Amino acid sequence: MTVTVRVPAKVNVQLGVGGLRADGFHDLANVFFAVALGDEVTATAGEPGTGVTLSCAGPDADAVPLDDSNLAARAARLLAAHHGLAAADVHLHIAKAVPVAGGMAGGSADGAAALVACDALWKLGTPVEVLLELAAELGSDVPFALVGGVALGRGRGEILEPLPVAGTYHWVFAVADGGLSTPAVFRECDRLREEAGTGSSDTEVATPDADPALLAALADGDAAALAAALTNDLQPAALSLRPALAATLRAGTGAGAIGALVSGSGPTCAFLAKDAEAAEAVAAALRASGSCRAAHATYGPVPGAAVTVGEPRGQ
Ligand code: C5P
């Protein structure tokens, strides 16, 4: 039997970063937005004793680790252990469209997709609340990939509150050459705060909150107001580590994007366009600019990880 799960990537329309906590994480006010650009993970029952095996296809497949560190493999083993299964014999194939180490939570998405796929393959019927807890153990961005839509993530990003949103928004993602390490970008954010004299610990930096103007824009389906409210506290750090991203952001706004920001910890840049046609034009201009490796027009919000082939959950 085979189960295929489609899972979205995310852009953070607000990424408010608080101070560094004692546990090494930062408190966030993280407004996640799920976009149609996504991966597919297919789970196939393995021969007894094979354990979890992985394969990956797609333009950036070479950059995906196919060892035990892969979040999809870790997710399968975590789910099996949670249910006390004697073995997790499964092959996971990842059809990769999300940029790798790009700030769009592609690895986290694959972890979420593997949880849903293995749950269906092994007919476990794991309650959603339990899947969310297992997802949070795997990483801060994994729970959102299960939920999709638009949600506010608090804590390290794993405490989710779905947000009301109207309409469809048109996005363009400019993919950079190579990735950025998320911990390195958070460290650079701390370093820049120290350099500016504001301090970087959670006793020195105020706990961030969701921006009311941004929440109103989402609820109203107002793309122009959302574009004006886009913020990412990690953007200065990503630009400091990758100064060339400034030219990418300029190329997109020069081509008519109504909003632009670095996606999460980067280096992917995200652009909001006024409609689907404008998004295609921005993507074409970005490709022609030479300031990125690839550019994809897409839209959102879309739902979280869901079975497309096989037996859907709860049926
Ligand atoms: O949770 P996840 O494994 O995705 O986090 C990767 C790294 O990113 C953490 O080890 C930490 O360095 C950084 N991080 C952070 N604050 C967060 C989320 C992630 O500092 N809220």
Answer whether 43's CB lies under 8 Å from 123's CB: no
Q: Is-contact 121 81, C-beta < 8 A?
A: no
Query: What average pLDDT does range 193-200 have in this prediction?
Result: 96
Tens digits of residue pLDDT in 37-52? 999 999 999 999 999 9
Number of the ligand 1 atom closest to the C-alpha atom of 27 = 21
In this structure, which amino acid lies at residue 149? Answer: G
CA-CA distances (angstroms) from residue 44 to 55, 91, 102, 309? 11, 5, 28, 12
Token pair for 203 = 């006793």
Whether residue 5 contacts residue 41, with contact meaning beta carbons closer than 8 Å, is answered with yes
Quote the CA–CA distance of 296 and 55 in Å, as a whole number. 24
Pairing of strands 52-57, 90-95: parallel
Q: How far is residue 18 from each of residues 153, 157, 206, 239, 266, measured CA to CA in Å?
A: 13, 11, 6, 19, 18
177 is catalytic: no
From 119, 141, 190, 233, active-site residue: 141
pLDDT tens digits along 78-118: 999 999 998 899 999 999 999 999 999 999 999 999 999 99
Q: How many CA atoms lie within 13 A of 104 on its CB side?
A: 30
Of 85-89, 113-117, 251-255, 260-264, the poorest mean pLDDT is in 85-89
141 classed as catalytic? yes
Tell me what pLDDT residue 116 has: 98
What residues does ligand 1 touch, defined as CB less than 6 Å away?
24-26, 28, 139-141, 156-157, 182-183, 186
Query: Encoding tokens for residue 184?
Result: 């390195």
The number of the ligand 1 atom at minimal distance from the alpha carbon of 142 is: 4
Closest CA to ligand 1's atom 20: 25
Question: What is the atom index within ligand 1 of the atom nearest the CA of 26?
Answer: 16
Question: What is the model's pLDDT at position 313?
Answer: 66
Q: How confident is residue 312, by pLDDT bands cut at 50, 70 and 90?
A: low
The pTM assigned to this predicted structure is 0.96
- Residue-level pLDDT at 315: 47
Tell me the CA–centroid distance for residue 307 and ligand 1, in Å: 28
278 Cα to the center of ligand 1, angstroms: 34
